[in-house]
Structure 1
């Protein structure tokens, strides 16, 4: 077939793209199906709750504000703390100036042989360092007080948080009770944050220390800053050194060297694990756990410390077992704690600047004989255990003295190992009863009377101006007729004693007693002769010492010399307490002979010793409130008092009973090993003619003569200068 007449299309490929058009076509509407399918591929939008969005926005803003403020405040606080720490560290002194911070010094008391028997004040044994003490002691302190000491920066947040949790759990305030303090913080407290003791601000050192330990929040913050400053200024070992030297460890011991010497009689460099544990255990409560107060309690606390040391690796199994099996014990001196009452008396009577208020370390040598002290304590204990009903509250006191007034022993009560207790030997003023009568007879003998002179024991009354008639009665309520002065004294008859006192002159008798050393106020009336006045046992024993030494007064003394630590030259010394003569030596010798009869034939028979001569006198006050026995051998004078602290009458006790037995037991122990020596006594010459008994009513001429004699005696005795 032919295609003539028809036009054939050109041979070209199909257009890939549509041909551009001159005029845009109208946009075709999208198909609903297509739009719906695209929507189905998107996640539907959720509308946010307006209220929730509002509060979330506020919280977000607050958090951003807190963060913005907190890091700025933290930065400022850190800068302030840093400045405060830097300033405090700059003001801290060299470490060697912080080692002895006592406000007062120590007093070490030595006995008559030079052995230490007591300590008073704040004892400081010398400087020790963290490296010079026993390693066991160093480990015990760290294990007990701050096991992370070498790892923290002075304050332990973990320890503080733990302490607060424990306090709250135990029902206390967060800052009350456990403190969570590090050793550095405890050292800061010991230094009182650098505030020195000012006696004008604080009445006592105890007030000062109490103020230093105030537990307020402000105080805790200052303490933390001070601790951080110490860490910045000193090394760890230097801080520990300050702590070891300043810690109070009971019984007046400041620092571990003093405590080691006080309790164990050795240096802190020599203590073993169990001794170290006992010392470290004192830090929590020095007075409560002091081994001198309660050794068993202290040992139990030490066992706890040993367990801590073992758990922290400071002790091996063998060391721990050995230490627990052999707990620490006190040194011999600490066990005895000898002369507690005696030491207190020396401290009270010594020069105040070098005893009670000393700022120096003082050494005092005393007259105490520890053997005699132990003998007196044992004698009292023996009699009370054997003769006094269990539960009795009766008390007793003993003084042992040499004839020159040197006090060798003093027991101020039934509790013997004490310090700071009421001392009945020196503080109690009690009626002396018939124990006063030797001074009546001393006056009469010095006026010319003889021990063999007769005197009438019969009804007798004397008029006392302002009081009326005074009629003494004998203890037995009987009359014995004509007796000698010796019989009257040995049987302790009252009527002859009053007669003799009136005859000699009450002023004369009073002067003789005062000159012999009875400083208490003496009665003015005739009852003076029967011991109506009060006196202490120490006064009475000193007065009897005057009779033994031949009639010279003595001043009881306990200190022989006082010197500063490190000095060989004494500041004070004494070798005798003998003073002026009171009565003639012959009168004293005759009086001693009469008092010897009291023991061999009279009311003091229970006081007799089988191996040596002794003399003495019984005394029982009104209603048997006080019972006395005082007497002497050629070597020692011993005084014994017995009574109740509330002044209630004793039951079935007189001076010739239990006091005489305590006296005898004391004398037997005191004289062990001493050869017997005769008393310095003189028997009277037999009378050549009968002496007429003086009458109580004296004529005017007799009164003038008596006045002359009295004046002469006063001149001899120095009564005008008393």
Structure 2
């Protein structure tokens, strides 16, 4: 083939790579945008550089600041941990001590002050109790370092959702933080700074941000210094659990009568449930509410694996109940009274742990409470605001039972048996007759019950009336007392002298101011039930004064030697023993034949006296058997007159109901009473100088008919039960024949 003269193509592979012309449009497009590209890249790079520079500053400053804060926090935690005392010193931080009250048999019946049952540890208490505390208060206790960020965040979220501030309400506190609060971040109570312990504790629990920061540091310091079990031990010993109980050992003893090492799951749940609100959920305040809270704790324990389904079901079906002492509401009126009879620095203001043995007989206490309840339930309107009090003691003044109001299960309440001063009315008359008998008058002496007036200097005429506004002519002193005639009592008091009557009453133990005028004989002065009952005890024991007492001995916990012993008991003689025995005989007639008939006991002698104050504002019955003296009062706190109630009614019935229970199963003892010598010559020769009446033979016979019934002329204290029964039969036959 001939060469046409064209240039030959190069000897290369044909179009191995794409032609550059394919990308030409892109180059042209790029060339069109090229004027703006440098500008946009510069801004981006500038912004990026600024942010990078700021980040490097923040990061550099931030990690340095974090490092500094961490170092400072570490130094603070380390310093605080070095200042923490040995853990044993943190177990008991009470500012006040406790008072444990024992009854006459030595059984605990009441507590006062801040009760601390003794130090226990997290390993010595029941495992159920330890698990219940952790399940309820801090389930991650063994995992955190003293603070729980998750718990704090959750608490803040809940507070905000409920409309409170982030630090108000739920705190998200761990057990370690709660323990730090309990020991007030190591600050001890100082009475010069805080007025009382309540103010101190309120200050310890304030929720400011600064306080929270200090609490966090202190909590972490505790985690450094102590083991987890040691922290839990402090918490177990310091937590307040209601009813004055500090620590779980005290609470377990208080509510269940057993050590914290012995509590079952249901009891452990109830104790742990108190932590949320000790006073509200205390079983002594509301057992049902406490049991409901315990059921929640049982559920938490089951969910966290501390109880099996079977154990949880059993605990829920058998909720914990209170011990007998706890059910008694801490001793009520009697315990409150005993606390006032000892020195304040060993009772109400004690800083030591004190043990007081008392005279209380819980069997008699229950009898007294039941008597008031039964009579009021049966005889008094449910809406009545009338109150009642009863007090029972031995002849030597040892108080065995005390009820200061219808609400018997109380603590710290107004005690009408010791605090109320009321007019005893005719219940005061035995002191008038005691004074008369002691100067030689006889129970068979005669006195005229007739219209009678006295000129009282500065007051004018005083003219007493009988309760029924009638006159009864010439009567014996015995008749006047057993029928509670007022005029003979006033005339007799004038005869022996008002000063003499006042001295006899005062020496028997009536410490209140006694009236100066003739109304003294009718009980116009005010006195407490404790005073009156103690004075009657003096009559029973033969005429010697009695000082009522409830404290037998007081000693410090752990000491065998008592610091003080009973300060009451039998004192100086007031009237002769023969006079006292004749007065008892006359007071026995009040019950067998007079106004006190409703107080009669079927199987033993009773002596006593009714009393109704002016305008019937107070109604009394005070009396005794050979074994016990008891006094009953009924009235309104605001002095509203009673409606159809006198001392011979409801008070005598309450007295009878109480003493019937008290003497159940006891051997029969005869009252130490002496019947006076009885012959017609004595009666005719002992007409009262104030009577002014000529006594006829027929009148004497009438008087003898009303008197004879139990007049052996000898002292009856040495008789047998059969003698007492025969004497009562004769008395009943004589009364029926009239």
**TM-score, structure 2 length as denominator?**
0.86
Offset, 1:322 = 1.1
The secondary structure found in structure 2 opposite 1:269 is helix
d(CA) in 2 for partners of 1:696 and 1:199?
A: 69
- Match 1:694 to one of 689, 695, 703: 689
The residue that corresponds to 1:301 in the other structure is 293
Asked if structure 1 preserves the Cα contact closer than 8 Å seen for 2:444 and 2:683, the reply is no
Give the 3-state SS of the residue equivalent to 1:512 in structure 2: helix
State whether structure 2 residue 248 is matched by structure 1 residue 253.
no
User: Does the CA contact (< 8 Å) of 1:499 and 1:696 recur in 2?
Assistant: no
Query: Is the CA contact 2:151–2:173 (under 8 Å) kept in the aligned structure 1?
Result: yes
Looking at structure 2, the residues matched to 578 and 83 of structure 1 have their Cα atoms a distance apart, in angstroms, of 70
Q: Which moved more, 1:308-317 or 1:681-690?
A: 681-690
Q: In 2 relative to 1, CA 443–65 (structure 1 residues): closer, same or farther, beyond 3 Å? A: farther
The reply on whether 1:159 has 2:159 as its aligned counterpart is no
SS of corresponding position for 1:249: coil
What is the CA-CA distance between 1:39 and the residue it aligns to? 0.9
User: Which of the numbers 375, 394, 397 marks the counterpart of 1:402?
Assistant: 394
Is the deviation greater in 212-221 or in 275-284?
A: 212-221
3-state DSSP class of the match of 1:119?
Answer: strand
Report deviation, 1:175.
2.3
Structure 2 SS opposite 1:431: coil
Q: Determine which of 514, 521, 524 is the counterpart of 2:506.
A: 514
User: 8 Å contact 2:341–2:551 — kept in the other structure?
Assistant: no
Q: 1:52: Cα distance to partner?
A: 12
Match of 2:402, SS state, is: strand
- 1:626 alignment partner in structure 2: 618
Is it true that 1:232 corresponds to 2:227 in the alignment? no
- For residue 201 of structure 2, what is the aligned residue in structure 1? 209
CA contact (8 A) 1:502 1:696 kept: no
Separation of aligned partners in 1, 2:136 and 2:68: 37
SS for the counterpart of 2:448 is strand
User: Does 2:319 align with 1:327?
Assistant: yes
CA displacement at 1:101 relative to structure 2: 1.2
- Give the equivalent residue in structure 2 for 1:716: none
Does structure 1 residue 497 correspond to structure 2 residue 492? Answer: no
Distance 1:71 1:647, change over 3 A: farther
Contact 1:454-1:485 within 8 A present in 2 as well:
yes
How far residue 505 of structure 1 moved from its aligned partner, in angstroms, is 1.2
CA distance in 2, matches of 1:693, 1:69: 113
User: Within the alignment, does 1:419 sit opposite 2:414 as a pair?
Assistant: no
Cα separation, 2, equivalents of 1:35 and 1:477:
138
Which residue, out of 339, 354, 357, partners 2:346?
354
**Length, aligned pairs only:** 668
Q: CA deviation at 1:43?
A: 8.8
> TM-score, normalization: structure 1?
0.88
Q: Determine if contact 2:437/2:579 at 8 Å carries over to the other structure.
A: yes
Aligned partners of 1:414 and 1:69: how far apart in 2?
74
For residues 687 and 401 of structure 2, the distance between their equivalents in structure 1, rounded to whole angstroms, comes to: 45
1:547-605 deviations in whole A, cap 9, x for unaligned?
00011111100011112222222222238611100111111111111111111111111
Q: 1:55 to 1:406 in 2, by over 3 A?
A: farther
1:444 and 2:436 aligned: yes
1:124-203 equivalence runs, <5 A: 124-203=116-195
Q: Which runs of 5+ in 1 are unaligned?
A: 1-12, 15-31, 698-722
Alignment of 1:502-651 (within 5 A): 502-574=494-566, 577-651=569-643
Does residue 1:363 correspond to 2:355, yes or no?
Answer: yes
Q: Which one of the candidate residues 664, 667, 672 is aligned to 1:672? A: 664
Match of 2:512, SS state, is: coil
Residues 248-268 of structure 1 show CA distances to partners (whole Å, capped at 9, x for unaligned) of: 111221111111122112211
CA displacement at 1:339 relative to structure 2: 3.3
Once superposed, what is the RMSD of the aligned Cα atoms?
A: 2.6
Contact 2:494 2:518 (8 Å CA) reproduced: yes
Secondary structure at 1:77 match in 2: helix
Distance 1:332 1:274 in 2: 18
Which deviates the most, 214-223 or 273-282?
214-223
Q: Structure 2 vs 1, CA of residues 79 and 433 (structure 1 numbering), >3 Å: closer, same or farther?
A: same
Query: 2:511, 2:531 within 8 Å by CA — same for their partners in 1?
Result: yes
Q: Using the TM superposition, name which of 434-443 and 564-573 deviates more.
A: 564-573
Q: Bigger CA drift: 444-453 or 405-414?
A: 444-453
Shift, 1:335, TM fit: 2.5
- Contact 1:595–1:616 at 8 Å: present in 2 too? yes
User: What does 1:78-157 align with in structure 2 at a 5 Å threshold?
Assistant: 78-157=70-149
* Whole-angstrom CA distance in 2 between matches of 1:471 and 1:160: 82
CA drift of 1:206 comes to 1.8
Between 495-504 and 61-70, report the one with greater CA deviation: 61-70
Post-superposition offset of 1:688: 5.1
Instruction: Give the aligned partner of residue 702 of structure 2.
Output: none
C-alpha distance in structure 2 between counterparts of 1:255 and 1:33, whole Å: 90
1:379 aligns with one of 371, 376, 395: 371
Runs of 4+, deviation exceeding 6 Å:
32-35, 48-64
Q: Is contact 2:257-2:323 (8 Å) kept?
A: yes
Pair 1:353–1:49, CA change in 2 (3 A): same
The whole-number CA distance in structure 1 between the counterparts of 2:46 and 2:66 is: 30
The Cα of 1:83 is off from its aligned counterpart by 2.1
Counterpart selection for 1:289 from 267, 281, 296: 281
* 122 and 259 in structure 1: CA distance in 2 versus 1, 3 angstrom threshold: same
SS in structure 2 of the partner of residue 207 of structure 1: helix
Q: 1:226: Cα distance to partner?
A: 1.0
1:473 pairs with 2:465: yes
SS at match of 2:447: strand
C-alpha distance in 2, partners of 1:139/1:395?
47
CA contact (8 A) 1:498 1:530 kept: yes
Residues 414-437 of structure 1 show CA distances to partners (whole Å, capped at 9, x for unaligned) of 111211111111111111111111
- 2:445 and 2:683 in contact (8 A); partners too: no
Contact 1:338/1:373 (<8 A) preserved? no
User: Does the 8 A contact of 2:103 with 2:358 survive in 1?
Assistant: yes
CA distance in 1: counterparts of 2:451 and 2:45, whole angstroms: 118
